Structure 1
Amino acid sequence: MAKIVPFKAVRPTKDKAGMVASRPYENYSAGELKAQLEYNPFSFLHIINPGYKFQHEITGEKRFQLVRNRYLEFKEEEIFIQDKTPCYYFYKILTRTNMFSGIIAAASVQDYEDNVIKRHEDTLANRENLFKDYLKVVGFNTEPVLLTYPDSEIMDNLMLKVMKGEPEYEFSTYNKEKHILWKIESPEKVAKIKAEFETMPTLYIADGHHRSASSYLLAKESKAANPNHTGKEPYNYFMSFLISESKLQIFEFSRLITDLNGLSKEEFLIQLDLWFRIESRGLEVYTPTKKHHFNMYLDGEFHSLYLRKTNYEFTDSLSNLDTYILYQKILKPILNIQDLRNDDRIAYIHGKNDLIEIKSQVDSGNFAVGFGMLPLTIEELKKVADEGLTMPPKSTYIEPKLRSGLTIYEF
């Protein structure tokens, strides 16, 4: 039974929502970031990049405290307001090619601990603790964890009713996306949403493993320091965006490798032949159409690689993943890529970018070889999580990607 509850969001006033909301900080180029900070005084980027005010880069706990200060300034200037009653928030994003919709709410850290909220990726302890310390100092969370739930006719019907009402926000962005948010505060609708989530035995983290892990650590620390802990404190929850499984979109990450680990092209292909049937495609841009089929671009040519299944043993859901097969049979043993997170010989391109980008990067000499594959499915993701396993890093690129600053969860 999933415990998904409404909360009193801190939000921008209606007239400023489009100016406040920002993409994740790391998604801006240096030029874009500078322009936003110079010409948009309402951008949430001013909060998460507080050193700009002093024309000085600030790191560590000093930065955390300045983030807190900028946030309080936005509240004092009434750029932000807080809802007086706990609400759910229905959020809809229209891109050039897709429509995403879901509910912003607070998810339980106890559900995370009890594996009601299941995960499929490993997290790094140092990042978990860094984010935990950040949350503790700033006192708020603005980037929801992306959770997915089984398709629900009841939830879909509720959303249709909500969309007939006047939205709280409706604005467009420079990349031609439209963002619409409705506030759900009627006791009847709130009760129905909460009850429907309570019928769901399991939710899955689609994106935000470090954010959920750091929220869990903060809750444990806060509970230990609070002799009057009741379980109802805000630190017992973390902000989430919940989207049904059929509305989630999963892309693949292609892999680029800087060199062939000292092998000649011929030696490399001979080693590949042990595990894969190889066909040269020349300049034909080959896109895999089946699981366990891979695209490879090497020395000016595309190749198709088909796994020799008679040689390969499928033992669990992890061994079925194409990202795992690529790592275990090519990247690790042949190209000596041991650490997928930290080896500077490997780079990733998410599948929204064309395979032509792989060709361009290899032809430029920046990389020696590139690999592509089909994206994972939601069923594969769930099986890995259900078996308590973890995928290789960069196995999925999942949309939607949400704007920061539209709803803020205070601890």
Structure 2
Amino acid sequence: MAKILPFQGIRPTRDKVSLVSCRSFEDYSAVELAYLIDYNPFSFLHVLHPAYVNPQKVTSDKRFKMVAAKLKDFKKENILVQEDKPIFYLYQIQTRHHVFTGIIAGTTLEDYRSDVILKHEDTLEYRVELFKEYLDYGRFNTEPVLMMYPDQEHINHWIDQCKTTRPIYDFSTVDKQRHTLWRVEDDKDITWLCEQFEQVDRMYIADGHHRFASANLLQEEDPENLKGHNHSVMTYLISERNLKIYEYNRIIHDLNNYTKEEFLELLEQKFIIKNKEQQLWKPTQKMEFGMYLDGDFYSLKLRNTKRTNDILQQLDAQILYDEVLHPILGLDDLRNDARIDYIPGNESIVTIKEMVDDGEYEVGFMLYPTNVEEIKEVAENNLIMPPKSTYIEPKFMNGLLIYEI
């Protein structure tokens, strides 16, 4: 049974929410960051990276202390306010192509350890350690873990009813997204929601594995450091039907010393290859791959599909690695090899074409997206997907809600 917890969130005042909230720090170019930090005194970027001007001269512990101090400044200046009591939130993100609606709540480290909450991605030790240090100094998180749960019709109906009430926020951003937030403060609603999730056997981390792992490590190292409801993580709970799962496409800098002709000959041993020439082509089914090489698009269809009950061997990302990236292109460590980069599937394949045409990369591969059932099967079998198998939306705004620990 899953346990969810209301929390006493900290959030921007209604008049400043569009000025405070921001995308993840890594999403901005250096020019954008400089502009926002120089000209928007309310941006949460001031909290996230207060040492922006001279980051290389500031140690991580000092920077994290500055983050905590800047958050206190925002609270003292009434840019941020705290709820009077623990509550839930309903949050809707409307992009150009999709509408995502979910519940913001705390989920417990106990459920994470007891496999009520399951994961499908591996974590990097250094990233877990770094974010644990950030949590230890900063004592807050503002980017929830994206968690999916099996679709529940009664919860869907409740969400629809909540959306007829007046939200506390309803604003648009320069990337043409609309963000709407409702407070769920009625005790009856809070109790009812908790009861509904108690009937959910399993939930699945869709995005944010490192954040959960870091909170768990912090609590394990110092159990007395986090008390009461703070043995939990802020989570954006969303029905599995409401997720949008994209592939991660691959671009590689070189052909591992093969000529184009030699490379195509090696591929033909394993794939049926069709030259699509200038057609912007991408796969339409599993075990089919797109490729862009030397000005032409190609379709690659696996000649011999292996019958296997191993879910990992059925994943297109694993097949591409086993058949092409590792044996032909000589790529071993997909996380750390500098010869390969990744383009999320929500970007046009024109991006891949342009990057290859510019000469920095030799070849690009387009994959068919993984589906929800594959993610769940991997997680339920305690397995780990290949690196960069999925790019999942929605993405959360920083500074919209702050979860103190």
Q: TM-score range, shorter-chain basis?
A: over 0.9
CA distance in 2, matches of 1:313, 1:342: 31
Is residue 254 of structure 1 aligned with residue 249 of structure 2? yes
RMSD over equivalenced CA pairs, Å? 1.5
Aligned to 1:108: 108
CA distance in 1, matches of 2:97, 2:396: 16
Aligned to 2:73: 73
Q: What is the one-letter code of the residue matched to 1:350?
A: P
- Normalising to structure 1: TM-score of the pair? 0.96
Q: Conserved in 2, the CA contact under 8 Å of 1:89 and 1:103?
A: yes
Deviations 1:260-314, CA, capped at 9 Å, x for gaps: 101111221222122211122222222211100000111221111111235x353
Is residue 340 of structure 1 aligned with residue 334 of structure 2? yes
Aligned to 1:282: 277
CA distance in 2, matches of 1:55, 1:147: 32
Matches within 5 A, 1:260-275: 260-275=255-270
Is residue 215 of structure 1 aligned with residue 215 of structure 2? yes
Deviations 1:168-225, CA, capped at 9 Å, x for gaps: 11111111211110000101110111111110000000000101100111121231x4
CA distance in 1, matches of 2:168, 2:269: 59
Matches within 5 A, 1:373-384: 373-384=367-378
Q: Conserved in 2, the CA contact under 8 Å of 1:219 and 1:235?
A: no
Aligned to 1:307: 302
1:218 to 1:164, Cα distance in 2 relative to 1, 3 A: same
Is residue 369 of structure 1 aligned with residue 356 of structure 2? no
Q: Unaligned stretches of 5+ in structure 2?
A: none
Q: What is the one-letter code of the residue matched to 1:366?
A: E
Aligned to 1:398: 392
Identity, in percent, stands at: 47
CA distance in 2, matches of 1:62, 1:177: 34
Q: 3-state DSSP class of the match of 2:290?
A: strand
CA distance in 2, matches of 1:187, 1:196: 14
Matches within 5 A, 1:4-403: 4-52=4-52, 58-223=58-223, 225=224, 233-310=228-305, 312-403=306-397
- Normalising to structure 2: TM-score of the pair? 0.97
Q: 3-state DSSP class of the match of 2:324?
A: helix
1:182 to 1:303, Cα distance in 2 relative to 1, 3 A: same
Task: List, as ranges, runs of 4+ consecutive aligned residues in structure 1 with deviation greater than 2 Å.
Answer: 52-59, 312-315
Deviations 1:295-340, CA, capped at 9 Å, x for gaps: 0111221111111235x35341111000010111111111011111
Deviations 1:364-386, CA, capped at 9 Å, x for gaps: 11111110011111111111111
CA distance in 2, matches of 1:40, 1:356: 34
148-157 or 48-57, larger mean C-alpha shift: 48-57
Q: Conserved in 1, the CA contact under 8 Å of 2:5 and 2:229?
A: no
Cα distance, 1:404 vs structure 2: 0.5
Q: 3-state DSSP class of the match of 2:133?
A: helix
Cα distance, 1:98 vs structure 2: 1.1
Q: 3-state DSSP class of the match of 1:246?
A: helix
Q: What is the one-letter code of the residue matched to 1:109?
A: L
Deviations 1:347-398, CA, capped at 9 Å, x for gaps: 1111111112211111111111110011111111111111111111111111
Q: What is the one-letter code of the residue matched to 1:345?
A: R
Q: Conserved in 2, the CA contact under 8 Å of 1:260 and 1:268?
A: yes
Q: 3-state DSSP class of the match of 1:50?
A: coil
Cα distance, 1:19 vs structure 2: 0.8
Deviations 1:38-79, CA, capped at 9 Å, x for gaps: 111111000011114789853410100000110111111111
Q: What is the one-letter code of the residue matched to 1:285?
A: L
CA distance in 1, matches of 2:52, 2:362: 39
Q: 3-state DSSP class of the match of 2:220?
A: helix
CA distance in 2, matches of 1:53, 1:69: 17
